[in-house]
Amino acid sequence: MSEHRPTPKLVTEQAEEIPGYTYATSEAASTPGAMEDLERLKAVVDLTEEDESVLVDAAAVPADQADDMVTAYRERLGEMPFMRPHFGHPDSSANPEYGAASKP
């Protein structure tokens, strides 16, 4: 993996300023699953409210490493030819615009 690069403050503190980034807004796509499905999955793994609270707190730990994590993930995907169609153009060619827009 490359040298550590902290996640840009734009991502961690001002995500609403990233063009096209609509996470947690009414513009974001909604899941085809229902909340009932989520509750069932939580029951399967015995996820408690305490577990959820701990996970929320733990999310801050890798926050400044998100850029490195995305880079490593993309490198790994690049090693899997069967994944290329899912991250490029319909003809499986690279889509650098997507890559640039999804990693500020």
Q: Where are the domains of the chain?
A: 9-101
Distance from first CA to last CA of the chain, Å, rounded?
19
Instruction: Tell me if 66 sits within 8 A of 7, measured CB to CB.
Output: yes
Task: Indicate the helix (H) or strand (E) that contains 44.
Answer: helix 35-44
- pLDDT, position 2: 56
- pLDDT, position 25: 76
What percent of the chain shows pLDDT beyond 90? 19
| pLDDT tens, residue by residue, 37-73 | 999 999 999 999 999 999 989 888 887 888 888 888 8
Residue 77, CA distances (Å) to 17, 60, 64, 73, 82 in order: 28, 25, 22, 6, 9
